[in-house]
Amino acid sequence: MDKVIVVTGASAGIGAALARQLAAKGAKLVLAARRQPELEAVAAACGPDARAVVADVTSREQVQKLFDTALEKFGRVDVWVNNAGRGITRLFSELSEDDLDAMWRDNVKSAFYGMQVVLPYFKARGAGQIVNVSSGLGRMPTVPFRSAYSAAKHALNALSACLRMELAGSHPGLTVSVVMPGPVATDFGASALGGGPDSRSLPNVQSAEDAAAVIADVIERPRPEAYTAPQMQQQVEAYYQDVAKAEQAAAARFRR
């Protein structure tokens, strides 16, 4: 894979697994996260063509620095993966304005900055791919205590689709892809605002490696959207066929 790829949220979980898989395919990597020791360990495992950049992607200035570093290191950027994000474990009735601001900042603005920073460069080149890692909850909000997280991921999906349509006529060489994982065996749950169930203990949980493999495939075979779990598209279709029934089932699970 002769591509230069920026991956945010690369110090652990899906981002780290994706970095290792892309490195094995021959990609050159610029990996970003806030945790320096963990990030540098991932970069070291990926080999000499991986560069670690400590960055907080909720800052536009630091995202710009990340882009500039990628160009300085490798001379180009082919793919930008917005993977950084964070969950929350609070019901709607428990949410504060700060909670909503945090979910918007961590899950929407972080990707928004990446998209806006790299977009002029991709337009000038006439080629490039943005990959936004969203969530199945951005399609079917069936976990009540993930209310604000679901809302943020719905927003990310919509922004991605609108950018894709904006570029379709003027810049057909640019691709905007959305990948939607379900429950993945990472520290997502334990790291959520308000704590919450450990994602690794959930039933039918997917490994970070399996989720990352779908993202890698989307990079190799660009397409608008992909779910990381085979059954998720059917679940989403069932949700919209009968929203009331799906929400009743979700509410019953929540009451147990």
Q: Show which residues are catalytic.
A: 149
Contact 4, 27 (CB under 8 A): yes
Backbone region of residue 196 per phi and psi (left: phi > 0; alpha: psi in -120 to 50; beta: other values): left
Contact 146, 91 (CB under 8 A): no
Give the side-chain half-sphere CA count within 13 A for 113: 23
Structural element, H or E, at residue 33: strand 28-33
> Helices in the chain by DSSP H: which ranges?
13-24, 36-46, 60-74, 97-104, 110-125, 147-170, 188-191, 208-220, 232-241, 243-255
Contact 36, 10 (CB under 8 A): no
Which residue type occupies 218? V
201-216 b/e (C-beta count within 10 Å ≥ 16 → b): eeeebbebebbbebbb
Distances (CA, A) of 80 to 32, 145, 231: 11, 30, 27
Dist CA 117 CA 80 (whole Å): 10
Contact 58, 106 (CB under 8 A): yes
| Residue indicated by tokens 């704590």 | 195
